[in-house]
Homo-oligomer: A and B are copies of this chain.
Amino acid sequence: MSPPELFSNDPANTHEAMMEATYRALCTHGYANLTIQKIGEEFSKSKSLVYHHYDGKDELLLDFLEFMLDRFATEIIDTGADDPTDRLQSVIDLTITEPLSEERASFRRTMIELRAQAATDPAYREQFTRIERLFHDHIADLLREGIEQGTFRDVDPDQVASFLLTLIDGTMLRQTTTDDGAITSARRELEIYLQDRLIADQQ
């Protein structure tokens, strides 16, 4: 597998190189078959460096998860757009979209495998709860701003954010675990919902 766009061709430091090695190993072997040894094999520098930094597979994977979720959050949140409508569009374009590039699809599969660990492991659960709150606040804030500006109707920003984030999570789950290709259709309905419920009538 060629280096995913998620990582620059030239890792900034040893930590980033280790995260990239973890990502490659996870894409190749999946969570259940992953060992710290296999991660070491993907690492261009000395394998012993990986053992030196982490006590085991789960310590390394949790560090990886924090790193990746922060990258993903930065991508979605720091779009450079000012306008609430553009910021909302950007969240939706990055999350509720089909088809995915092979790189994106691979990233989502990896994230779903790790996310399933959160069903039973509190440390994983804490990471995913943290990132959901971050996304929630981002969406609720842009809604609040749009309401203040009069671009959006006077909806409950937290309630609409909860609804949208549930749709985003459902998209990720369906796209990674089924072949039914229903996202394009769900997205069309979402556009109708946003138009009817959110977009204020233009004078």
User: Residues on A close to B: CB < 8 A?
Assistant: 30-32, 109, 112-113, 115-116, 118-120, 124-125, 128-129, 132-133, 136, 156, 158-160, 162-163, 165-174, 176-180, 182-183, 185-186, 188-190, 192-193, 196-197
Contact = CB atoms under 8 A, between A and B. Distances in A.
A159 B189 contact: yes
Contacts of A116: 31, 112-113, 115-116, 177
A190 B167 CA distance: 11
A10 B111 CA distance: 40
A163 B189 contact: yes
7 contacts: A109-B120, A115-B173, A129-B179, A133-B180, A156-B189, A159-B186, A166-B183
Query: Is the contact region of chain A dominated by helix, strand, or loop, or is it mixed?
Result: helix
A129 to B, nearest CB: 4
A128 B171 CA distance: 14
A166 B159 contact: no
A177 B125 contact: yes
A191 to B, nearest CB: 10
Most B CB within 10 A of own CB, among A30, A159, A162: A162
A177 B119 contact: yes
